[in-house]
Structure 1
Amino acid sequence: MLFILFLVGASSYLDRSIISVLLEPIRAEFQVSDTMLGLLTGLSFALLYATLGIPVARLAEWWDRRKILAIAVLLWSAMTALCGLAQNFTQLLMARFGVGAGESGTVPPAHSLITDYFPVNQRATALAVFSASGVVGTVLGFILGAHLTEEYGWRFALIAVGAPGAVLALLAYTLLDEPRSRRPQDNPEDRESTLAAFRVLAGKRSYIRLVGGMVAFFMLSFGSLAFAPSYLIRVLEIDLKTVGSIYGAVAAFGSLPGLVLGGVLSDRFSKRDKRWLFWTASVAMLISFPVYLIGFSVPNFSLFIALSALGATLLNVCVPPMYAALHEICGSQRRSTAVAVLFFFANLLGMGLGPVIAGALSDAFTMSFGNEGLRYAIMTSFTFALPAAWLLYQGGRLMVQDIEP
């Protein structure tokens, strides 16, 4: 079951992230600014991805989660292929809205199924495995996007990665298990209302800190780093195919060990003190800040790659403990809703506005510093790591009173 969810997650991130490595060819064809590219990678995707996540999560509390995932895969794959058919920048933006709408049906039902499949003491590791699908999908997005674009153009690359979604949707529907089908049906009158779930979550102070920390985390991981391929091409003058292959491989080399390490460390530390679910993420976030600042300061490509690998490891150490902390404090009857609310704010503010902010900073700095402006924009926007680390530390201090089975 986890393997099928892994494939779904990988497909999601492949279709989502491939656009980052295509930004320079798209900019050259449509003659748009970095702010508009930030809108393409961020808000156009995140708006429906975030807003539809909550109703999808409420649906996942009681409906067949296999069907939700299968429909979601089919929708985002079709919209990714439509991105490749766009004849102007507006059409491309509209199709990206559709990709976000489809992918809103991924994380809440997937997390909900994982918590049904695995006992409490294995969840962080299972969530780490599922999170690793994002790394694999992102790496494939960089590598396939770069190579297919070099050979056939950016439109063909988008169509090629979107088309296989129909097969994956069928696999998800056929092979996934729905544990609820073997349980006595709940009385609909006993289900917690959406408003009641929101009230409970709003009263959990550690949950509020986790939401804030995740927003800041997404600001840098989906905002600052969304322009890393453009930075390598524009500032360090590395060719597209090398960027896709080398930087994509580095993302995997750093991210996969980080996810595994984050899951193992948080499972081990939290056996003695649950607060380390928050604190493991906080410490890793804090250390990542100077690593990336140095990485984007150096003019040498090889040194940048080495520091990026270390930074990717540290950032991904944060992911499993944050997810495990979420499931410790949210309560079982509102699990999907808690995931959706968290990702509503993280995606809308972090993933949606992060690239726009980084792009606007780049446009502003470029007026004074030329292509070097993109370097300064990325370094400036990476300061979001500091409030993220602080909020996660505070969440750990407050979580004990919020723990709920």
Structure 2
Amino acid sequence: MTRTSKEKVQAYAWLVFALTFGLLISDYMARQVLNAVFPLLKAEWSLTDGQLGFLSGVVALMVGLLTFPISLLADRLGRVKSIAFMAVLWSIATLLCGFAQDYQQMLAARVLVGVGEAAYGSVGIAVILSVFPQRLRATLTGAFMAGGLAGQVLGVGIGGVVAAAHGWRMAFVAIGIGGLLLALVYPLLVRETRLNGGENPARGQVTWASLGALFAGRQLKCAYIGSGLSLLTAAALPAWLPTYFVRYYDLPLEKAAPLAAIFLAIGGAGMVICGAISDKFVRTSNHRSLLSVAYCLGCAFLITLAMSLEPGSAQLVLLGAGMFLAAASAGPAGAMVANLTPAALHGTAFAILTLANNAFGLAPGPILTGWLADRIGLLGAMQWLPFASLAAAGIFLIGARNTSAEIGAAEPA
């Protein structure tokens, strides 16, 4: 390959990353804008914290239920067209949220958002990994998942500002229209024929026997579960920080939402930086597991300390440090999944990772926090979050004890 052609390939890879990353931002903006308007919905429809938490968590619940079958279908039928269809669906569903007249209609629209977003994370990262070298897997995985936090930042920040100025309905409409436009552009610029050398690696190769490789070895299983548990705190904090700042810092929504967005940005930066650290200094899956243990323990310690303090500057500093590490294990865990599964099944492998992330973290995080908040208050509920990070550290530690034989059995040919 000549230097010119290599530069063209690299430029196209970054174009694919930018567009896929942009849709991920749209995905999480559609998911997160609801949390920015919690106080407004609570007042207008007289909702409990548990009902608000369920509206937030039901999207992740649908993602968890549907990510595996839809990802498997996308691996076989074509990832680009599948991504475009998903994005159109969740964007239309977001528009429907803006027209909801009661809790039941909002819940139905949020379920549809979850259906549209179900397999995007797994299929999107598979598309990105197909056009980049293997040595960048942890960095790309961490950066791609940080797009979720970037979307949460924008969803909370923009949603809160638009809702304060024009009402909560317009917040949903604005974000839905933006996602729909990007969804229509995506298949015009990203071509299936330029991914994986023009071949769909999974077509004709996915069998029940080959799916066994997606669960081979203790370390791979622990990467799935540990990643999910580590994201419970990272899901609960974005969902409830705007409300926390309104209740405990006496801030109006138009100030609470941008402040919460800053903390979400810190979390996104942590995912990228900690993923890059994994790629730069860690070479084995065992060491990635141990690095994930350190990230989870650091998050648990910092959040525990932050939630033990009175509202003020010291609490905000510690909360920011905890947010930096809240999803830091996403990059190392994603690299372990990619390295220990066949490339032909990466879309499905990341579907399983997405399933675990939603089942153990993203779905229960907002729901359990809201349920606890109705019983012991929001502060008391958030003081329980570090236990999920401690559990994740234990799971990653079990995975780090993998023997060489187990790792060799798990690695694809």
Aligned to 2:18: 3
In structure 2, the partner of 1:268 is 280
CA contact (8 A) 2:217 2:407 kept: no
Q: Secondary structure at the match of 1:220?
A: helix
Per the TM alignment, residue 41 of structure 1 is displaced from its structure 2 partner at its CA by: 0.6
Is residue 328 of structure 2 the alignment partner of residue 317 of structure 1? yes
Maintained 8 Å contact 1:216/1:384: yes
Match of 2:354 among 330, 339, 343: 343
- Residue 301 of structure 1 and its aligned partner are, at CA, apart by 3.4
**Structure-2 residue corresponding to 1:122:** 136
Q: 1:73 to 1:56 in 2, by over 3 A?
A: same
Specify whether residues 186 and 216 from structure 1 end up closer, same or farther in structure 2 by C-alpha distance, changes over 3 A only.
Answer: closer
- Is 1:382–2:394 an aligned residue pair? no
- Residue 412 of structure 2 is matched in structure 1 by 404
Pick from 50, 65, 69 the counterpart of residue 35 of structure 1. 50
Contact 1:77–1:166 (CA under 8 A) maintained in structure 2: yes
Tell me the distance in 2 between the aligned counterparts of 1:224 and 1:241: 18
TM-fit CA distance, 1:224: 4.9
Displacement of 1:196: 2.7
Report the counterpart of residue 392 of structure 1 in structure 2: 396
Q: Distance in 1 between matches of 2:73 and 2:163?
A: 38
Aligned mates of 2:261, 2:227 — CA distance in 1:
24
Matches within 5 A, 1:320-331: 320-331=331-342
- Name the stretch that deviates more: 219-228 or 67-76: 219-228
Q: Which residue is 2:82 aligned to? A: 68
* TM-score normalised by length of structure 2: 0.89
- Matched with 2:370 is 359
- Which shifted more, 2-11 or 209-218? 209-218
Paired with 2:27 and 2:156, the residues of 1 have a C-alpha distance of 14
How far is 1:229 from its partner? 1.6
Amino acid at match of 1:403: E
* 1:207 alignment partner AA: L
The equivalent residue for 1:138 is: 152
> Distance in 2 between the 1:184 and 1:267 partners?
28
The amino acid that maps onto 2:136 is: Q
Residue 385 of structure 1 deviates from its aligned partner by 0.7
Q: Choose from 232, 244, 265 the match for 1:231.
A: 244
Deviation per residue, 1:142-165 (Å, 9 max, x gap)? 111111111111111111111122
Q: Is contact 2:292–2:328 with CA below 8 Å preserved after alignment?
A: yes
Question: Is 1:298 aligned to residue 309 of structure 2?
Answer: yes
Which stretches in structure 2 are left out of the alignment for 5+ residues?
1-15
Matched, 1:308 2:315: no
Partner of 1:257: 269
Distance 1:323 1:182, change over 3 A: closer
Cα drift, residue 75 of structure 1: 0.6
| Paired AA for residue 43 in structure 2 | A
Q: 1:146 to 1:334 in 2, by over 3 A?
A: same
* Aligned-pair identity (%): 27
> What are the Cα deviations for residues 206-232 of structure 1, in whole angstroms up to 9, with x where unaligned?
122122212312322213552222111
Work out whether 1:247 is the aligned partner of 2:260: yes
Structure 2 contact 89–116 (Cα < 8 Å) conserved: yes
- Contact 2:224/2:333 (8 A) holds in 1: no
Q: Cα–Cα, structure 1 residues 72 and 11, in superposed 2: closer, same or farther, change >3 Å?
A: same
Residue in 2 that maps onto 1:368: none
